[in-house]
């Protein structure tokens, strides 16, 4: 692309150029952003762009389409935006619109047109009847290329995700302090309100996903979202919450006691999960298989389950036997993380689909993932009742670096000593 663009939108232009370079000559790729969705009557839900579209454009308005034309003979590669026209009347009601001319200049496109002209322009762009007719490729053909690109975060993405994780860490600290200040009897939704306040206070546009604020037995429900119970003295609170900032998600989980002090059984389980996370984090480095993260966490958790009597040594045998028989899944039934990016469960393969046997994918610098072991003890025969109704998860956002990793969410305290000190 020959157009000079502002440094703020340069990453988007660079991505378009990278994708265009991978497309077969003469192809046309079309990406449309998400539609507006009505909540009720004439009131829409807060608008959120399509992640793929935004990744390539940086353009957040609805009713927009991006067209990428690969080089074709003597014709250079081009990127074209279709968007809403300027409309002073609508802008009175709904706010600013760029319009094609301003959007073209501001976002570094080669051309821009009104979305109402899309069908007419596409007929011309595809070259109907010409000797050099272009071929439009389907979105499904485009996504594997984009997924591979999105899996490796560039410098601008890493910076944004670092800021998002920092905001979310502040929100978790705020929730812990609010719990300490108010004490037992505070509703879960009041803690959720503290999170939302901190998100917006620092400029985040929205939660990256519905916040989980789960006290007591609710913490044993992995995707609990009611957030309407009342906290009780002696229980733990599990908060899984993160903000979305400028299109990028954060995802942090912390677990803390309602009264600011872990009981002995709670501390035993908590420190087991923390040790499992430490082992999993030690496996995050370039060249290491993604699967090693989960394997490390499972081994530590299974050892602890046997030592604490959650699993019967006489029945399970060795740690290796217990893992082979998946005995740990009674108390730990999910994976130890996922890719993180524009989507909270971001795109990208976890296996090398091009290698024989499809082995676990090797980690690379620039990948961002969560590391989130947990333990969930429901009442059951043979399970010590001192651990019943206890759910614990510890989750951090982690950037793979050339020499290891960086924890983006490190500002959220997670050791027993740190949490108890904060809540006093």
Q: Which residues are catalytic?
A: 42, 223, 240, 251, 334, 338, 345, 372, 376, 393, 395
- Radius of gyration of the chain from its Cα atoms, rounded to whole angstroms: 25
Q: Give strand ranges (E) for 52-137.
A: 65-69, 78-83, 111-114, 135-137
> What is each CA distance from 210 to 227, 239, 241, 244, 378, in whole angstroms?
10, 11, 7, 11, 24
Q: Which of 332, 303, 308 is nearest to 319 (CA)?
A: 303
> What is each CA distance from 226 to 177, 192, 234, 246, 293, in whole angstroms?
22, 11, 21, 27, 31
For residue 286, give the DSSP letter: T
Q: How many helices (H) and strands (E) does the chain have?
A: 13, 18
| Type and span of the H or E element at 248 | strand 248-249
Which structure tokens are listed for 387? 């651990």
What DSSP line would sit under 152-167, residue for residue? S--HHHHHHHHHHHHH
Which structure tokens are listed for 118? 């899309």
Phi, psi angles (nearest 5°) of residue 105 = -70, -40
Contact 19, 137 (CB under 8 A): no
Q: Which residues partner with 406 through β-bridges?
A: 399
Could you give the dihedral angle defined by the CA atoms of residues 60, 102, 19 and 290, in that order, rounded to the nearest 10 degrees? -30
* Interstrand relation of 236-241 and 65-69 (parallel, antiparallel or unpaired): unpaired
Q: Which SS3 state, helix, strand or coil, does residue 239 take?
A: strand
> What is each CA distance from 87 to 61, 83, 92, 118, in whole angstroms?
14, 12, 9, 18
How far is it, in rounded angstroms, from Cα 51 to Cα 208?
13
Q: Which of 347, 327, 177, 141 is nearest to 256 (CA)?
A: 177
């Amino acid at each position: 692309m020959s157009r000079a663009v502002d440094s703020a939108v340069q990453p988007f232009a660079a991505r378009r150029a990278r994708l265009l370079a991978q497309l077969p000559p003469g192809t046309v790729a079309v990406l449309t952003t998400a539609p507006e969705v009505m909540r009720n009557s004439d009131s829409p839900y807060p608008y959120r762009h399509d992640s793929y579209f935004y990744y390539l454009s940086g353009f957040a308005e609805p009713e927009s389409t991006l067209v990428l034309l690969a080089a074709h003979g003597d014709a250079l590669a081009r990127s074209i935006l279709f968007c809403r026209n300027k409309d002073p009347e609508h802008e009175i009601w709904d706010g600013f619109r760029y319009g094609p001319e301003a959007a073209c200049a501001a976002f570094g496109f080669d051309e821009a047109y009104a979305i109402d002209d899309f069908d007419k322009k596409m007929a011309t762009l595809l070259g109907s009847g010409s000797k050099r007719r272009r071929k439009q490729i389907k979105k499904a053909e485009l996504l594997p290329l984009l997924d591979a690109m999105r899996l490796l975060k560039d410098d601008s993405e890493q910076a944004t995700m670092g800021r998002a994780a920092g905001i979310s860490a502040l929100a978790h600290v705020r929730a812990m302090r609010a719990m300490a200040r108010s004490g037992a009897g505070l509703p879960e939704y009041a803690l959720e309100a503290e999170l939302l306040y901190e998100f917006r206070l620092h400029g985040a546009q929205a939660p990256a996903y519905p916040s989980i604020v789960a006290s007591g037995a609710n913490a044993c429900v992995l995707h609990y979202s009611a957030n309407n119970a009342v906290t009780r003295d002696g229980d733990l609170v599990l908060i899984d919450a993160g903000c979305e900032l400028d299109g990028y998600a954060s995802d942090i989980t912390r677990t803390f006691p309602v009264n600011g002090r872990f009981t002995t059984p709670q501390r035993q389980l908590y420190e087991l999960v923390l040790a499992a996370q430490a082992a999993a984090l030690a496996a995050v480095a370039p060249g290491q298989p993604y699967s090693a993260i989960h394997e490390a966490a499972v081994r530590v958790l299974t050892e602890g389950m046997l030592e604490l009597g959650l699993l019967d040594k006489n029945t399970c045998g060795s740690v290796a036997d217990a893992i082979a028989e998946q005995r740990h899944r009674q108390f730990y039934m999910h994976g130890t993380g996922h890719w993180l990016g524009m989507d909270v469960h971001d795109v990208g393969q976890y296996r090398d689909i091009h290698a024989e046997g499809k082995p676990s994918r090797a980690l690379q610098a620039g990948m961002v993932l969560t590391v989130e072991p947990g333990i969930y003890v429901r009442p059951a025969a043979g399970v010590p009742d001192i651990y019943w109704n206890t759910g614990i998860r510890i989750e951090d956002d982690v950037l793979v670096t050339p020499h290891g990793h960086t924890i983006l969410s490190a500002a959220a305290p997670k050791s027993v000593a740190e949490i108890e000190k904060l809540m006093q």
